[in-house]
Structure 1
């Protein structure tokens, strides 16, 4: 007799303000099963889990269509509290621990065990004291299940992040009513040996009858521990298959594979990229929260478009931010054999570097200022352009600023009412063009662009990408493009460096197979090719 079904999600659909992010997803998880859920950034995994866990963001944006069935009964979970009461636990990527509390106190938070004392017997149960002995025993049992030999009385503050992850998991398995446990990228912060320990603990947890949903991008772990695998891509269900029916290469191809529209370069007529190295990056580290760079070496060739790709939080965003001095960085960056001073944005600008930030509304634009001032301001500050010197004062040359803005509006096809229009009132695509116009005003040797198409519609995406190709092809500009959209990188880049865990996993040609890109993003490319070399 087969195991009973713990969870069924039937024909789940969800849209955010007209943008459909889940398109009829079906998912079934059985008692004692480890079910892997795979997909790139934006595939729909997080939205699906938000629905399962009753997160407020789902209900505040119109709810969802479809049915969630738990233990054979339809449920409508309106909050995480209801989900937890129904027996669903979730180990989140972001830690939810109280640093000043002990491990036991964190594991037992809101589920404390109490015992009578002299006062409570006389004055009532509200004066009961904590039964720390029993709580410590329970915490010890949960930690032992995970194979972690850390003392339960230690405080969270100062623990290595790997141990914090195990405490998160221990808290969930200590719950008596747990039926389904969701692991969201649980090994992302673990060392290899810690990850092996966790996978063994997952097998023990599943053997006790608890169902596990395992969200990860590490495909070798999926093959190692999962029973069944579901793959999402662009909000659609691509495949559900048994582990025995698949392998790492197939999973990588299913996760990444898609039609690649040629948005930019025509490979038949493009010029040959120079072999001359314009920038050398050596052993660079960047302390950007959530996007740490942990030691990369990269040569950038003159006149190329090189892409920086990878999953969220792996460090690709940190590279340009570190070079431009926006976050603390160490290592060496050489531009045409001269060293660029790190941690100094002005030095980067004076050396002919320009940057279009991934956060155009928070960092890239002065939203309540005119288009023309947005375009000119960085050049005014760093290069003293558009200024008239009068007595002891510098005064903006409004006429020159206006003429330059008009030219950029025409050249970049910025759709607006005129150079004096407030930038906030432009569409996302046109705001992005203003950011690019400001960078181009610096006449850079190298243009760094991060997430250039984030948050803009498909038509505007093509215009922005075509603009980058035009700058590269017609003006020979070297461009470093960071993007979470692999298809866009493959459509316009000459080479693509995939960043995994803060380091370069490999550098691929855009024509490389879907499987190779999938392996690289999952951190398995080096491992596989080192085995082949042996």
Structure 2
């Protein structure tokens, strides 16, 4: 490998969306035939950088970017995905883009079919040419052989194992003429252990032919096994470019996570809590949830009464599946106990009847009635579950508008919900204020246990601080057990007593807020070696 030659150089890349700078002078350089890992937490800027490399409309439709891109030492302008393809840049996506009803060959050659002329085509044009299936099958066999996949190129893709589909995606990219650089976006996320091992072998084979690979992954063990070098991004900034040889897993984890853990809240509230290890608010045993993209695969967890408990992990690892499964929004199995009482996971609303409330991460899809007023959103669940805000007249119950109005005004004031009044439609509020309405609705249920998923997603720093401080206040003053599920480690480490890290649908470990950045990095990337603890840590 020539250390002075780069197939790709992206220098000082800056990208803003509506004044928010998401890339802040990022560099990325890759040698021919090199496997280069691109690493960083969710939100580090990896996807935006790849969107720039591929000339995606989301970049050029929002003002473009600053910085330069070179391919093979020449400055290039990549303003469309077609231009990227012409430069020999391809991508293997995590979500398969195959056509189930087509054969392997047809999927590999789609958009680049080979045809030969006929008498009719000479008269009527190329559209009347016949497909050359023999030549296309030959190309498909060659591409499949390159990556070591033994499958009949004439077989239908439909019904094939997930691992095979991933390899067919790779073969399609390999078959493209002049391919120089392949981007693998979380390619092992949906594969079994044996399939993932085969994929890493295929990557080595591809690289040995001089094709460079950008390997986007969160799994440090895979990076250490297959990559030659890496670039680490953090919060939209370039942290380091390192050779894998001579680097340790701990060092890399620290670079990924490492940051000053700023306290997002002014925790001046007196903490007079007495938290007992054996006094449990929530107990999970072999808990499994079939939530697409956030599957939980057998979690044991003990959450103590009166604590603020954090649940963290990377996107798609299962952390969001835990509260959604407990609340009955997705099919769940295993055992869930709330204050010692076992929930019937088949019965909708069971958790609500055990004084558990939930603020969903999907505030527009699950959390809010967008066309209804702030007042209706705040009181609706409590009316349904607890018969609150209802006057009883014999057999009838009528809406107690005075009580509902007074309570809604109180919640608007308490949470500083910025609105024109409680009759304003929730859908017309800003994201931060919608989040506060969701929280107000959950609190109106009077819960003993409150699950809050991604409480500060998409809201400004001021609203973020207010929401987090209010959760601490509920915990300290009312003894409420608060469970926060978040992608923001700084958020979790600011207010949690303990933090469970979920990786690949399972509990990686339980950490304390002041544990090292390395331990958090290792846990989130699936490379954590438990020192003891588990559900009871």
Task: State the TM-score, normalized to the length of structure 2.
Answer: 0.94
Distance 1:3 1:166, change over 3 A: farther
Partner of 1:66: 67
Deviation of the 1:196 alpha carbon? 1.7
1:145 is matched with which residue?
A: 146
1:36 is aligned to 37
Return the match for 1:328 from 325, 331, 344: 331
Q: Distance in 2 between matches of 1:298 and 1:419?
A: 39
Q: Secondary structure at the match of 2:144?
A: helix
Paired with 1:74 and 1:237, the residues of 2 have a C-alpha distance of: 21
The change in CA–CA distance for 1:95 and 1:325 in structure 2 (over 3 A counts) is same
Deviation at 1:122, TM superposition (A): 7.4
Match of 1:407 in 2: 410
Match of 2:442 in 1: 439
CA distance in 2, matches of 1:434, 1:126: 58
Partner of 1:416: 419
The yes-or-no answer on 1:262 pairing with 2:230 is no
> Quick one: which of 397, 401, 405 aligns to 1:398?
401
- Post-superposition CA distance 1:128-153 (Å, at most 9, x none): 32222222222222222222222222
On the 8 A contact 1:11/1:66 being kept in 2, the answer is yes
Unpaired runs of 5+ residues, structure 1, are: none
* Aligned partners of 2:33 and 2:207 also within 8 Å: yes
Counterpart in the other structure of 1:374: 377
Taking the aligned partners of 2:340 and 2:532, their CA distance within structure 1 comes to 33
Cα distance in 2 for partners of 1:366, 1:181 equals 44
CA deviation digits over 1:466-490, x for unaligned, max 9?
A: 1111111111111111100011111
> Counterparts of 1:103-502 in structure 2 under 5 Å?
103-116=104-117, 120=121, 125-264=126-265, 265=267, 269=271, 271-275=273-277, 276-390=279-393, 392-502=395-505
Mapping 1:515-526, distance limit 5 Å: 515-526=518-529
Distance 2:531 2:86 in 1: 43
Shift in Å at residue 268 of structure 1? 9.5
Answer whether contact 1:327 1:343 (CA < 8 A) is retained: no
Tell me how far 1:165 sits from its aligned partner. 1.2
Supply the distance in 2 between the matched residues of 1:154 and 1:381 (Cα, whole angstroms): 53
* Cα distance between partner residues in 1 of 2:392 and 2:274: 45
CA distance in 1, matches of 2:251, 2:368: 43
Closer, same or farther: CA 381–82 of 1 in aligned 2, 3 Å: same
Contact 1:228–1:242 (CA under 8 A) maintained in structure 2? yes
Could you list the runs of 4 or more consecutive aligned residues of structure 1 that deviate by over 6 angstroms after TM superposition?
Answer: 527-530
CA distance in 1, matches of 2:225, 2:270: 43
Could you tell me how far apart the structure 1 residues matched to 2:423 and 2:127 are? Answer: 66
Q: Is the 8 A contact 2:35 2:213 kept in 1?
A: yes
Q: Is the 8 A contact 2:228 2:243 kept in 1?
A: yes
Q: Distance in 1 between matches of 2:405 and 2:217?
A: 51
SS at 1:414 equivalent: coil
Change (3 A) 1:40 1:246: same
CA offsets 1:264-308 (integer angstroms, 9 cap, x no match) = 457995634221112211222212111111221111111111111
1:322–1:343 CA contact under 8 A, matched in 2 = no
Instruction: Give the SS at the match of 2:41.
Output: coil
Moved more, 425-434 or 43-52: 425-434
Are the equivalent residues in 2 in contact too, given 1:87–1:177 (CA < 8 A)? yes
Query: Which residue is 1:95 aligned to?
Result: 96
Aligned to 1:84: 85
- Supply the distance in 1 between the matched residues of 2:379 and 2:532 (Cα, whole angstroms): 48
Alpha-carbon distance between aligned partners in 2 of 1:380 and 1:267, rounded to the nearest angstrom: 32
Say which SS state the counterpart of residue 5 (structure 1) adopts.
coil
Deviation, structure 1 residue 422: 2.7
Give the 3 Å change call, closer, same or farther, for CA 123–23 of structure 1 in structure 2. Answer: closer
Question: What is the alpha-carbon root mean square deviation over aligned residues?
Answer: 2.1
What SS does the corresponding residue of 1:104 show, helix, strand or coil? helix
Q: Which moved more, 1:188-197 or 1:450-459?
A: 188-197
Cα 1:270–1:253 change in 2 (3 A) is: farther
Secondary structure of 1:245's counterpart equals coil
Length-normalised TM-score, structure 1? 0.95
Contact map agreement 1:326 1:343 (CA 8 A) in 2: no
Say which is worse superposed, 194-203 or 384-393, in terms of deviation. Answer: 384-393
Partners of 1:213 and 1:283 in 2: CA distance: 37
| Alpha-carbon distance in 1 for matches of 2:420, 2:469 | 23
1:503 alignment counterpart: 506
| Secondary structure in structure 2 of the residue aligned to 1:418 | coil
C-alpha change, 1:31 and 1:359, in structure 2 (3 Å) is same
Q: Deviations over 1:6-27 (max 9, x none)?
A: 1111111001101100001111
SS in 2 for 1:237: strand
Please give the per-residue CA displacement for 1:505-524, whole angstroms capped at 9, x wherever unaligned. Answer: 11111111101110111011
Give secondary structure in 1 for the equivalent of 2:351. Answer: helix
Greater Cα offset, 86-95 or 131-140: 131-140
Q: Any idea what SS the aligned residue of 2:230 has?
A: strand
